[in-house]
Amino acid sequence: MPPSAHIARAAPGAAIPGTSALPGRDPVIVTRALTRSFPMGDTVIRALQGVDVTICRGEYVAIMGPSGSGKSTLMNIIGCLDRPDSGQYWLNGTPVADLGDTELAALRNREIGFVFQTFNLLARADALHNVELPLIYAGVGRRERAERARVALQQVGLGERMTHRPSELSGGQRQRVAVARALVTRPSLLLADEPTGNLDSATTADILALFDTLHAGGNTIVLVTHESDVAERAERCVRMRDGRIESDTLSLRKGQG
């Protein structure tokens, strides 16, 4: 999708229900009455049953729940990888339901940085080239994308590993490359799907500390997990069960007011 593609964006808070109650806070994610169902044989799985959630710029939110709770379905809709059956979703002021597939892909590439459990790195490319990839798709020139990729790798502490391939990096370093790749487009939202699922406990702590640093730097982070200790690192936890939000609470972890 050409970087010049135009996507209409609402003014902050304009025509978005409930955001008037957030004076001075710019909502990045707003969903209202989202539903999503999937046929399975003779039955229908109601994965989402009227989900309302608002996440503002600079928040660090964990979406947590057991298998089948609807968290992965909600993540796919928030990430513009799927569409709801009904309801509304605004991403950084843009009404997502109004977009065609091409516009949706452009919005996703511009506004969201993804971090996955399996890293999804190109095995034959070094760290620098892996981080450059989203900028290649966006049509950014060679010199600018190389510089932005270097800055992103330095940001995640891999300034001395830029020429290493994934096979030459530890699991934690590979995930840091994935985080740098997510950050290089300067997205409105960093969406992490079970980002520590394939890591040992020490490396998990290292990656979660990186997310803490990114959040402290102003990044908006939504982390999807089924692990309580991972969710507790966020400043807010949205718990799901049976396709609905069961609770939405602020964290009481040390250092937060």
Question: Looking at residue 173, which CATH number applies to its domain?
Answer: 3.40.50.300
Total of domains in the chain: 1
Look-up of token digits 């994308």 = 145
Instruction: Supply 82's token pair.
Output: 């799927």
Contact 220, 188 (CB under 8 A): yes
| Distance in angstroms (rounded) separating the CA atoms of residues 70 and 82 | 13
Look-up of token digits 């309801």 = 87
Rounded percentage of the chain residues whose pLDDT exceeds 90: 73
Dihedral of alpha carbons 158, 92, 82, 246, sign: positive
Q: Give the residue-averaged pLDDT of 147-168.
A: 95
Q: Is the pLDDT of residue 5 over 50?
A: no
Indicate whether 16 belongs to any domain: no
Per-residue pLDDT band for 2 (boundaries 50, 70, 90) equals: very low
7-58 pLDDT, tens digit each: 445 444 445 666 654 555 789 999 999 999 999 989 999 999 999 999 999 9
- Domain limits at 115? 21-250
Per-residue pLDDT band for 197 (boundaries 50, 70, 90) equals: confident
Indicate whether 91 belongs to any domain: yes
Residue 238's pLDDT is what?
Answer: 96
Q: Which of 69-73, 166-170, 227-231 has the lowest mean pLDDT?
A: 227-231
Indicate whether 10 belongs to any domain: no
Answer left, alpha or beta for residue 157, where phi above 0 means left and psi between -120 and 50 means alpha.
left
Which residues contact residue 28 at a Cβ distance below 8 angstroms, ignoring those fewer than 6 apart?
55, 56, 57, 59, 91, 92, 188, 189, 220
Which residues contact residue 240 at a Cβ distance below 8 angstroms, ignoring those fewer than 6 apart?
51, 63, 64, 65, 69, 70, 71, 74, 246
How much is the mean pLDDT over the chain?
A: 88
Q: Is the pLDDT of residue 129 over 90?
A: yes
Indicate whether 7 belongs to any domain: no
pTM, entire model: 0.85
Indicate whether 71 belongs to any domain: yes
Indicate whether 11 belongs to any domain: no
Instruction: Supply 219's token pair.
Output: 């990044």
Q: Give the residue-averaged pLDDT of 156-177.
A: 95
